[in-house]
Structure 1
Amino acid sequence: MTEPTRFFCAEAARLRGDPLAGTAPYGSTWILIEYRSGWPTNGFDGLALVPEVKTQVYEAARARRARILLIRRHGRDRPDTPPRWAVLHQERDGAHRQTWGVWRSERDLAEIVAALEEPGEHDCPPVLLVCAHGVHDTCCAVRGRPVGQALSERWPALVWECTHVGGDRFAANVVVAPDGVYYGNLDAHSAVAAIEDHLADRIRADHLRGFTDLVPAQQAALSAVLRHAGPAGRYAYAIAETVREDDRWRVHVTARLPGLSAFVVEVRAHRSPPRQLTCRGRAAASAVGYDVVSLRCV
């Protein structure tokens, strides 16, 4: 008897042509916890930590709408140094802040709660997070780990593998934090190229899922601008106005730098037919995508 073909959600999404732009989850604060043992399927939620400490961190994160990710270096090395934790902020004015600490016992993680209220250090290099959460989704491991290796070889101090960041079918996924930029559909070669450009403040639309301080329709509009006008810096453009009418948005994108144009982008939402969206999620589900209807310079 012929074995059934194994399903890989990222491969299926590429074959379908699932739209990438407009798929970055909203957020401006990240909590990172280095955890060198095996990651539970549900990440931080599944850790058997001291209950009161776990509750404190969880409640503080929920109050700030912060995302908690477990992290580790590629290769699962276990150095003699204690594991680290971090709180990363992206402020409303675009300033980036980071606070780092170490934990020798689970109770040390309670320091994260205070760090969420502190300004943190600025002028820190960004953190490159590669989703490699294989027990959550097979594609995250199969596609994420080669990307984690390639990026780690190039920028060893910046790169961490991490738990689920959302959008398994777009693996390999890379998040630059606290910049708040999601990249997807990456392999080892394209990941290095995308991050080289990002670190040079030259963001391209090719693998861009979106900016986490924008809603999906705005992300899709800005991606269309970058595809039309060419690569630009993280804060080269701003969203001046967004008007929604039913399933359509009219997004006014303004330039923050001289020499760049302003645009009006019309975006339409559509819902896909029900289908299997993740490797482990057997139930069919639909996803919302965003099509650019028109783009004009103003």
Structure 2
Amino acid sequence: MRTERFFCADAARARGDTLPGTAPYGLVWVLVEYHAPWPANGYDGLALDPGAKALLFEAARAVRARILLIRRHGRRAGDAGPRRWAVLRYDATGAHRQQWGTWERGEDLARIADVLEAPGEPGETGLPPVVLVCTHGRHDTCCALRGRPVAGALSERWADLVWECTHVGGDRFAANVLVAPDGVYYGGLDAASSVAVVERHLAGCVDAEHLRGYTDLFPAQQAALAAVLARYGPAARHAFTVTGTTRAGPHWLIRLTGPAPSTTAYDVEVTAHRTPPRQLTCNGLATSAAMVHEVTSIRVG
């Protein structure tokens, strides 16, 4: 008996799965340009010098950095020339840092480990952010099917800023875009909406539509901020500050202050609950429950 093929992003959209509150926490990202086909497990599956590979892995783990393989849209495995690497660091002041270099052999990646182990190195600030589009088809089919058209549309507009990348989390929200080191996740994108979202972001305006969350915030805080943006309008990335977080079981009270330089306070009540078990990825047949953070009220303090 023939069964219909399952696509996790289609199922999530049919269910109306909630985007806000789903961005993974993170403040540091390591980008490694890699032209050959990406293994299903990304950097972990690369056939590199074991010593150099382990050195970078341990350095990244020590600072909770995420290692992502990257490539330009349309590039092929045989592309010549040195490949690039980057360490991107989020900064709460907005003075995000980027450090870039090149590598040809696995041993060259030791330089990335040196950078990660010396966080005092200033790096460059004031650079435009990097726009990362998950197109990791070997990890999840929807990431490729929905991600590649988005990568193409964005690359056509911002060729120097846009990279395809390996798994960033949340396959069912494909196409996913991570803007780093700003630390902003967007999901549920297509070619047209991605251009509009990134254009607004680069202009200093984060809109609640398609926003999964800020990576320096925890899920309940992400949901609270997205709700305030949806009700009161878009704002700059650092316009709001979380000035209070209290929890009683599944109930959270999040206080946001802003947008800067305003001191207006917003008290946002958030309730967390788990969904029934569902298949959340294309390739994983096991079902699991997802945590949802629902905003129940917003009060101006």
TM-score (norm 1): 0.97
State the 1:260 CA deviation. Answer: 7.3
| Per-residue deviation, residues 51-84 of structure 1 (Å, max 9, x unmatched) | 1101100000000000000000001245433110
- Unaligned regions of 5+ residues in structure 1, if any? none
State the 1:259 CA deviation. Answer: 5.3
Aligned equivalent of 2:103: 103
| Per-residue deviation, residues 221-271 of structure 1 (Å, max 9, x unmatched) | 000000010000000100000000000100000015245742100000010
**Quick check: 2:251–2:269 contact (8 Å CA) kept in 1?**
yes
Aligned residue pair count? 297
Residue 182 in structure 1 maps to residue 181 in structure 2: no
Aligned equivalent of 2:253: 250
Aligned equivalent of 1:292: 295
- Unaligned regions of 5+ residues in structure 2, if any? none
Q: Distance in 2 between matches of 1:260 and 1:184?
A: 30
Q: State which drifts further: 264-273 or 83-92.
A: 83-92
Q: Distance in 2 between matches of 1:155 and 1:260?
A: 35
Aligned equivalent of 1:37: 36
The counterpart of 1:192, out of the listed 190, 195, 200, is 195
Q: Which amino acid aligns with 2:255?
A: H
Residue 216 in structure 1 maps to residue 215 in structure 2: no
Aligned residue runs from structure 1 range 142-291, under 5 A: 142-258=145-261, 261-291=264-294
Q: Distance in 2 between matches of 1:260 and 1:6?
A: 51
Q: State which drifts further: 161-170 or 77-86.
A: 77-86
Residue 18 in structure 1 maps to residue 35 in structure 2: no
Q: State which drifts further: 3-12 or 255-264.
A: 255-264
Q: Secondary structure at the match of 1:144?
A: helix
Q: Distance in 2 between matches of 1:123 and 1:169?
A: 33
Q: State which drifts further: 85-94 or 267-276.
A: 85-94
State the 1:114 CA deviation. Answer: 1.3
Question: How many percent of aligned residue pairs carry the same amino acid?
Answer: 62
Q: Distance in 2 between matches of 1:61 and 1:80?
A: 27
Q: Secondary structure at the match of 2:144?
A: helix
Q: Distance in 2 between matches of 1:153 and 1:81?
A: 22
Q: Which amino acid aligns with 2:54?
A: T
Aligned equivalent of 1:76: 75
**Quick check: 2:96–2:181 contact (8 Å CA) kept in 1?**
yes
Q: Distance in 1 between matches of 2:165 and 2:264?
A: 37
| Per-residue deviation, residues 6-32 of structure 1 (Å, max 9, x unmatched) | 100000001111110000000000000
| Cα RMSD for the two superposed structures | 1.1
TM-score (norm 2): 0.96
**Quick check: 2:98–2:124 contact (8 Å CA) kept in 1?**
yes
Q: Which amino acid aligns with 2:112?
A: I
State the 1:125 CA deviation. Answer: 1.1
Residue 52 in structure 1 maps to residue 45 in structure 2: no
Q: Distance in 1 between matches of 2:183 and 2:62?
A: 19
